[in-house]
């Protein structure tokens, strides 16, 4: 089954060219099936690139997915055209007021990790989002800063600033191989990392009620399950395209920002070589398993979610 997208959303054409099955809204409406309703709260500045990344992963399953795009109500992006935001995104206040519910929600990262959570301009509304998920979303996936913010909100787990940016592709090990979210995973895997902060295993253990599913000796805990809040927190970037780290590195070099060559990314650690993608298969496994778990456990009647 395909992912249901507006035919004029840029991700529609991108995924169609890649061979991902996409279905226009009018065609999807003729199918006698309840699609899984998944929302993307997109906090990243490059909105379209992020839409493509997550739509690619959740659209590669055998289920029909209806993707909804959400933004913070008052925060205005400076990196995506206003007409794109007006056409495809709904402010969270509108979504919350409608009372609608979702099978899944992805909360992306944001390039604000150097700020204390309380200093983020939309922190109060984001806390409302977190609380709203408990009655209106069956399963939530917090990614990078989004995952750090959510685990902090529900468990007071602090984030710690790093002296240098953790930047590159790092080997991780699976610590809970029987987890349904890790079906098909190898014992270890490579995941892109790009952050100035970290979550520490000792803080996660002290919080209680949290299970680390994937971790790294170099990059720390990567994927944490929060059963009580029906949530997963991933602090690294399975969703990254092959060239995402390259774009970040080239940007920083062009701006004169001190940055190391992303580790274990370019063959021979030489930026003159094209990077290699060694995480794509595990990215599809993880998000495919998440979608499958939602399908297996969500209510058929969306209105029953959160009751």
Give strand pairing partners of 4: 23, 66
User: Cβ distance 20 to 56 under 8 Å?
Assistant: yes
User: Cβ distance 137 to 102 under 8 Å?
Assistant: yes
Can you tell me the distance from the alpha carbon of 249 to that of 92, in angstroms, rounded to the nearest whole number?
Answer: 32
Point out the catalytic residue in the list 144, 172, 282, 293.
Answer: 144
Can you tell me the distance from the alpha carbon of 114 to that of 119, in angstroms, rounded to the nearest whole number?
Answer: 10
Closest CA to 199 of 265, 276, 248, 146: 146
Closest CA to 279 of 227, 217, 216: 216
Please, which residues have CB within 8 angstroms of residue 230's CB and are 6 or more apart in sequence? 133, 134, 137, 138, 139, 140
Catalytic annotation present for 237: yes
Query: Residue 116 — left, alpha, or beta (φ > 0 → left; ψ -120 to 50 → alpha)?
Result: beta
Catalytic annotation present for 84: no
Point out the catalytic residue in the list 51, 113, 198, 239.
Answer: 239
C-beta neighbour count of 258 within 10 angstroms: 8
Catalytic annotation present for 247: no
Can you tell me the distance from the alpha carbon of 292 to that of 280, in angstroms, rounded to the nearest whole number?
Answer: 18
Point out the catalytic residue in the list 198, 237, 282, 293.
Answer: 237
Can you tell me the distance from the alpha carbon of 83 to that of 11, in angstroms, rounded to the nearest whole number?
Answer: 16
DSSP type of residue 137: E
What CA–CA distances, in Å, run from 9 to 5, 55, 149?
7, 11, 29
Please, which residues have CB within 8 angstroms of residue 292's CB and are 6 or more apart in sequence? 61, 63, 180
List active site positions. Answer: 144, 237, 239
């Amino acid at each position: 089954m395909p992912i249901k997208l507006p035919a004029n959303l840029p991700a529609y054409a991108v995924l169609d060219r890649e061979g991902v099955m996409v279905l226009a809204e009018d065609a999807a409406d003729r199918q006698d099936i309840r699609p899984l309703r998944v929302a993307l709260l997109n906090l990243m500045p490059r909105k379209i690139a992020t839409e493509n990344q997550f739509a690619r992963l959740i659209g590669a399953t055998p289920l029909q997915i209806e993707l909804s795009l959400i933004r913070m109500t008052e925060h205005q992006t400076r990196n995506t055209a206003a007409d794109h935001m007006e056409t495809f995104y709904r402010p969270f206040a509108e979504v919350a007021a409608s009372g609608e519910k979702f099978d899944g929600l992805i909360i992306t990262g944001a390039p604000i990790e150097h700020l204390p959570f309380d200093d983020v301009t939309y922190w109060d509304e984001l806390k409302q989002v977190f609380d709203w998920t408990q009655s209106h979303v069956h399963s939530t996936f917090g990614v990078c800063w989004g995952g750090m913010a959510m685990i902090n909100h529900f468990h007071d787990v602090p984030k710690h600033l790093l002296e240098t940016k953790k930047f590159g592709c790092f080997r991780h090990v699976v610590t809970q191989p029987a987890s349904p979210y890790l079906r098909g995973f190898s014992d270890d895997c490579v995941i892109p990392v790009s952050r100035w902060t970290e979550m520490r295993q000792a803080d996660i253990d002290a919080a209680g009620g949290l299970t680390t599913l994937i971790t790294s000796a170099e990059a720390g805990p990567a994927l944490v399950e929060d059963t009580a809040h029906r949530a997963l927190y991933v602090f690294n970037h399975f969703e990254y395209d092959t060239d995402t780290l390259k774009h970040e590195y080239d940007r920083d070099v062009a701006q004169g920002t001190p940055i190391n060559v992303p580790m274990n990314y370019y063959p021979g650690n030489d930026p003159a070589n094209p990077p290699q993608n060694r995480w794509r298969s595990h990215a599809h496994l993880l998000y495919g398993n998440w979608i499958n778990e939602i399908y297996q456990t969500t209510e058929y009647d969306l209105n029953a979610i959160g009751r």
